[in-house]
Amino acid sequence: MKAADEPREDLALNTRSSSLDLSPAAMQELATQTTALVLDYFARISQLPVFPETSAGTTLRRLGAELPVEGEPIEKLLNDCRAMFDASRHNGHPRFFGYVASPANAPGAFADLISSALNANVTSWRSGPAATEVERLVVRWLGSLTGFSDKAQGLLTSGGSLANLTAILIAQRARSDTDASRTGLWNSQTPMTIYASDQIHMSIPKAADVLGLGRNQVRIIASDDRFRIDIRDLRARLEHDARNNLKPFCVVASAGTVNTGAVDALHAVAAVAREFGLWFHIDGAYGALAAMDQGKRPLFKGIELADSISLDCHKWLYTPLDAGCLLFRDETTARAAFAANEADYIKVHEQEPEESFAFWDHGIELSRRFRALKIWMTLRYYGSRKISEAISEDLALAQYLAQQISAAEDFELLAPVELSICCFRYVPRAARAKLDSASESELEQINSELDELNTRIMNTVQRGGEAYISNATVNGKFALRACITNFRTTRADLDALLDIVREAAER
């Protein structure tokens, strides 16, 4: 293939000399070789090490770090891309259980190519008519699939963190007595407080910090023995704060915590929110899409009562990153939170309501890529039934893993498996015998030793390349954490995981 700066005789004569357009032949070769690389990766992903044998700096030493002045052949570039594949951790591997990160499905991956080629900046209908309409449709689909509302409003975001930040901002402005939040005067008035359980995702206190509320204004509520927010403690804290010159304005429930997968009693939280006049937000970034499984629907009773909900399609709809979403019930409230004097160049002059729609009225970003296409393509290609079946199998596999752990003499299940996260630890038989009769001080020592052992096991498993797990702290104990959101995972992979953990413990 010709280098980027070689003459292309078949380009039109009126093409400028600095054009970056490719000839049809060069475009075809680029497409063919790139597609072949992607197809090869999808074909062999299950055979690759989950985590590569690499160390910091290895990739750049192999690829080189000099900025090229002249163009390079596509063969060299794609060989270097192949080297990046080989030096990457593979979320799509069937034994990747480390984080809430599903594999990218093929239609979604190719949709990203189409989206990038179109290069629509989805700021408003005027900037991207087709993309805006598809995104608003996808938002309604997601509202329906989660049981939130088939008339949901909202927008796609980079992920759950930005969705949560946007929701907290809307909530704070919706519950402010004045417009002081825009002028910065609200901070000198009655401090506004958020309520969430001790299992809440880090993005909630981070959002409070970014918005100037302060991390201390996130009031942490105890969780119960199923790791759900304690409703009695929530109500008691609200009553206490209201008596002490604080202004409660928002309660955040989890529809699937990242530690254990617990789902808060959403209906009960909604009742408290209504009683105290709070904005009710649900962080469903991980678990909300599990509501597509009909057997799990009762867990999500009350989701339809939320004012807003965050979710991530790249976590459990198997779409490529990034595909977060914020759903809300009242578009007028969201618009009020972001209403401002607009710059002349973005003022909308269209008269039809659909044509005057702008995403900047509902969120933080102005520049926004066409994220909706990969979600639309995934749901159109597979259909919602096929996707829900994949989610249901993930849920069933997590239960299978829990059963295998409970039946084993050298493992201990540390938390109930509510969705698809299983927290456990390796316990040598000798230690298990001591646990049953140990005094309080002896128990503390044994648990400390088990924490250290399981930490070493996790590190060994992660760098071994055969499987990947992460960790959580469960009731003060170091837990090995396996999260299953992968349509490639089978029971054989879970059996292999336990053997891999045992081998690591022996080493």
Q: Kindly write down the DSSP assignment for every residue of 326-385, as one continuous string.
A: EEES-HHHHHHHH--PPPGGG-----STTTT-BGGGTSS-SS---THHHHHHHHHHH-HH
Phi and psi angles of residue 282, each rounded to the nearest 5 degrees, phi first: -115, 125
Task: Output the pLDDT for position 149.
Answer: 96
Provide the pairing of β-strand 279-283 with 308-312: parallel
Residue pair 135/313 in contact (Cβ under 8 Å)? The answer is no
Question: Which H, E and C letters describe 148-196, residue by residue?
Answer: CCCCCEEEEECCHHHHHHHHHHHHHHHCCCCCHHHHCCHHHCCCEEEEE
Task: Output the pLDDT for position 87.
Answer: 83
Residue pair 303/288 in contact (Cβ under 8 Å)? The answer is yes
134 CB contacts (<8 Å, ≥6 apart)? Answer: 370, 372, 373, 376
Q: Which residues pair with 156 in a beta bridge?
A: 325
Alpha carbons 172 and 169: distance in angstroms, whole number:
5
Task: Output the pLDDT for position 3.
Answer: 55
370 CB contacts (<8 Å, ≥6 apart)? Answer: 115, 118, 120, 122, 128, 131, 134, 135
Of 196, 229, 234, 189, the C-alpha closest to 212 is 189
Q: Report whether the peptide linkage leading into residue 322 is cis, meaning its omega lies within 30 degrees of zero.
A: yes
Which element (helix H / strand E) includes 279? strand 279-283
The per-residue pLDDT string of the chain (507 residues; one tens digit each, 9 = 90 and over) reads 555 555 555 545 577 889 999 999 999 999 999 999 999 999 999 999 888 877 788 888 888 888 889 999 999 999 999 888 888 888 999 999 998 989 999 999 999 999 999 999 999 999 999 999 999 999 999 999 999 999 999 999 999 999 999 999 999 999 986 455 555 555 556 889 999 999 999 999 999 999 999 989 999 999 999 999 999 999 999 999 999 999 999 999 999 999 999 999 999 999 999 999 999 999 999 999 999 999 999 999 999 999 999 999 999 999 999 999 999 999 999 999 987 656 655 566 556 778 889 999 999 999 999 999 999 999 999 999 999 999 999 999 999 999 999 999 999 999 999 999 999 999 998 888 888 778 888 898 999 999 999 999 999 999 999 999 999 999 999 999 999 999 999 999 999 999 999 999 998
156 CB contacts (<8 Å, ≥6 apart)? Answer: 135, 138, 139, 323, 324, 325, 368, 371, 372, 375
Letter string b/e over residues 294-314, b meaning 16 or more CB atoms within 10 A of that residue's CB = eebeebbbbbbbbbbbbbbbb
Residue pair 461/467 in contact (Cβ under 8 Å)? The answer is yes
Half-sphere exposure of 54 (CA within 13 A, CB side): 18
Task: Output the pLDDT for position 507.
Answer: 86
Of 282, 293, 251, 503, the C-alpha closest to 419 is 293
Alpha carbons 303 and 296: distance in angstroms, whole number:
13
Task: Output the pLDDT for position 437.
Answer: 79
- Report residue 201 CA to chain centroid gap: 11
Residue pair 329/152 in contact (Cβ under 8 Å)? The answer is yes
Burial of 106 (0-12, 13-18, 19+ CB in 10 A): middle
Alpha carbons 471 and 144: distance in angstroms, whole number:
33
Amino acid at 350: E
Task: Output the pLDDT for position 177.
Answer: 62
Task: Output the pLDDT for position 118.
Answer: 94
Task: Output the pLDDT for position 429.
Answer: 87
Q: Can you read off the two tokens belonging to residue 326?
A: 């914020």
Counting every residue, how long is the chain? 507
Task: Output the pLDDT for position 440.
Answer: 84
